[in-house]
Amino acid sequence: MLCSSYAHNGGLKPLFVRIYLGGKTHHLLLLSLDVQMQKEIPMSNPKIAIVIGSTRDARFADKPANWLFAKVKDLSSDLDFDLVDLKDYDLPMFNEMASNLWMPSTDAKAIAWQEKMAEYDGYIFVTPEYNSSIPASLKNALDQAGKEWVRKPAAVFGYGAVGGARAVEHLRAVAINLQMVPVRSAVYISGSDFFKVSPLGANAEMSEIEAGILPSVEAMLGDLTWWTHATKAARAEGSMEKAA
Ligand SMILES: Cc1cc2nc3c(=O)[nH]c(=O)nc-3n(C[C@H](O)[C@H](O)[C@H](O)COP(=O)(O)O)c2cc1C
């Protein structure tokens, strides 16, 4: 018996085999999968939601949130970003029997919010400081989801007279209870910078203060990138059985 093969392309590889058997020539066509092709499937970037925490009509929030969204898209090639506006979800005040960690929610708007948050591997919360904490709109939105937050990183971009510093700390404490990973580096628009760009002050463009806050945006992105990739890989490997 004598065998020879010839002709193949990439992908699904045709293999033509000629066999001399019992004095006769036989031709066979075999198909095999090209393993090289499987290695070249591109991996998609983890997804980050930039969540606008203030919902009031006269809010300043749009200005820093839109500025941040444009900057992070330029600065990061390892993460993909969406701007998510709480106003679009029109959430009622939390009125469920329990967190969805223990039983499914009933309110359609709460469920739509949970489904949106489930799309992401990490979050940047853009928050003002209201009476030394985060606004009720943002706290309610955090309460309205549960299992969607678990083992994902949370970064904070605060603004206010003291940079939203007390709101940032409160949000970190809330995030821990929601089983998130609050990252160390945050962004604070404070003092004269805040009053330069806020409508409460000069209402100037964000470009007027960006040299001062870009280093902290970069530091926050560095932390967020590391923790997003680490937690995404760990979630893919392990199960969620301990989350409750
Ligand atoms: C109810 C309320 C409470 C506030 N409390 C604080 C505060 O504790 N610390 C602070 O720096 N600014 C405080 N401010 C000012 C806000 O930081 C400022 O109005 C900011 O623009 C609010 O964000 P927003 O316009 O995106 O809603 C408060 C504003 C409101 C409306």
Q: What is the CATH number of the domain that holds 74?
A: 3.40.50.360
In this prediction, residues 79-96 reach a mean pLDDT of 98
Co-location of 61 and 101 in the same domain: yes
Co-location of 60 and 159 in the same domain: yes
Per-residue pLDDT at 242 exceeds 50: yes
Residues contacting 217, CB < 8 A, separation 6+: 68, 71, 72, 75, 157, 187
Residue 138: the pLDDT is 98
Co-location of 6 and 55 in the same domain: no
Co-location of 154 and 228 in the same domain: yes
Is 207 part of any domain?
A: yes
Co-location of 66 and 14 in the same domain: no
Looking at the structure of the chain, the number of domains it has is 2
Q: How far apart are CA 187 and CA 164, in angstroms?
A: 9
Per-residue pLDDT at 236 exceeds 80: yes
Backbone angles phi, psi at 25, to 5 degrees: -100, 130
Residue 36: the pLDDT is 47
The chain-wide mean pLDDT, for the chain, equals 88
Co-location of 75 and 22 in the same domain: no
Output the six-digit token pair for 159: 């603004």
In this prediction, residues 78-94 reach a mean pLDDT of 98
Give the atom of ligand 1 at the shortest distance from the alpha carbon of 159: 17
Is 77 part of any domain?
A: yes
Mutate to test the pocket of ligand 1, among 67, 130, 133, 192 (most ligand atoms within 8 A of CB): 130
Backbone angles phi, psi at 111, to 5 degrees: -65, -40
Is 243 part of any domain?
A: no
Residue 35: the pLDDT is 45
In this prediction, residues 16-42 reach a mean pLDDT of 50
pLDDT in tens, 114-152: 999 999 999 999 999 999 999 999 999 999 999 999 999
Residues contacting 125, CB < 8 A, separation 6+: 51, 53, 134, 138, 154, 155, 156, 157, 171
Is 223 part of any domain?
A: yes
Q: Which of 108-117, 202-211, 232-241 is least confident?
A: 232-241
Per-residue pLDDT at 198 exceeds 60: yes
Is residue 61 in contact with ligand 1, taking CB distance under 6 Å? yes
Is 40 part of any domain?
A: no
Residue 37: the pLDDT is 47
Residue 238: the pLDDT is 81
Is residue 59 in contact with ligand 1, taking CB distance under 6 Å? yes
Is residue 65 in contact with ligand 1, taking CB distance under 6 Å? no
Is 92 part of any domain?
A: yes
204 band by pLDDT with thresholds 50, 70 and 90:
very high
Is residue 60 in contact with ligand 1, taking CB distance under 6 Å? yes
Which residues form the domain of 13?
Answer: 2-35
Between the CA of 27 and the centroid of ligand 1 the distance, in Å, is 80
- Write down the pTM of the prediction: 0.84
Residue 211: the pLDDT is 97
Judged by DSSP in three states, 22 sits in: coil
Residue 125: the pLDDT is 99
Residues of the chain with pLDDT > 90: what percent?
A: 80
Per-residue pLDDT at 205 exceeds 80: yes
Q: Whose CA is nearest to atom 27 of ligand 1?
A: 59
In this prediction, residues 206-227 reach a mean pLDDT of 98
Q: How far apart are CA 43 and CA 239, in angstroms?
A: 21
